[in-house]
Amino acid sequence: MRKAIGWSLCVVLSAAAWLSAAPSPEAKAPFKLKPALLVIDIQNAFLPYMSEEDKKSGLENINAYINLFRLYGHPVIRVYHTDPQNGPKPGTKEFEFPETTAIKPDDPKVIKTYGNGFNKTDLDKILKEKGVNALFLCGLSSVGCVLATYEGAMDLDYNAFMIQGALIGPQAAWTKTVLEFTRTIDYGALKLLFDTAK
């Protein structure tokens, strides 16, 4: 009798342990990072109006981030701005990024007419097709289109981050302010994130 009670108790305790260890129906799968880099509006038409301090390091750093994303096989999306009345007109030199930018012709391209890169464009569709859930933003203007696109990404439930050293604005002080109230990341932290997410 004592053996039977002991055995029953063992079975009950084992079942309880198994049930408590089994995932509940509400349990979520672990988060898998699927990042993309958005390179926003670094067009020849707009660069002359930007802070020299921001441009000096910003353009070089943008190339470093493009190369980092390529190294880990993550998409680079290029975003361009135009206005039907004021341009710059697609196909012109003013519309294009500087020739020194490390973009490639097969990088997905989005053309927008609003500050927010998601507004009336196929940016969200492109990102969803690629399974992207985290966005890292760089480009210009830090207080204009980059900030508007960051807010648009947050509204659509993307994990969005501004990239330190790769934002360009009309005044360097304004760029620093944007970095104070948005989520940011630097090169070393981003590389570590990519290393650990493999």
Q: What domains sit in the chain, N to C, each tagged with a CATH number?
A: 31-197 (3.40.50.850)
What pLDDT, on a 0 to 100 scale, did the predictor assign at position 121? 98
How many Cα neighbours within 13 Å face the side chain of 100?
A: 8
Looking at residue 30, its pLDDT comes to 74
More confident position, 21 or 76: 76
Is residue 3's pLDDT more than 70?
no
Mean pLDDT over each residue of the chain, to the nearest integer: 89
pLDDT tens sequence across 114-168: 999 999 999 999 999 999 999 999 999 999 999 999 999 999 999 999 999 999 9
In the predicted model, what is the mean pLDDT of residues 79-95?
Answer: 95
6 or 173, greater pLDDT: 173
Asked whether the beta carbons of 131 and 31 are under 8 A apart, the reply is no
Q: What is the full DSSP assignment across 112-164? A: ESSSSTTTTSSHHHHHHHTT--EEEEEEE-TTTHHHHHHHHHHHTT-EEEEEE
Q: pLDDT of 21-70, one tens digit each?
A: 445 556 566 778 999 999 999 999 999 999 999 999 999 999 999 999 99
- Dihedral angle over CA of 48, 186, 80, 95, nearest 10: 30
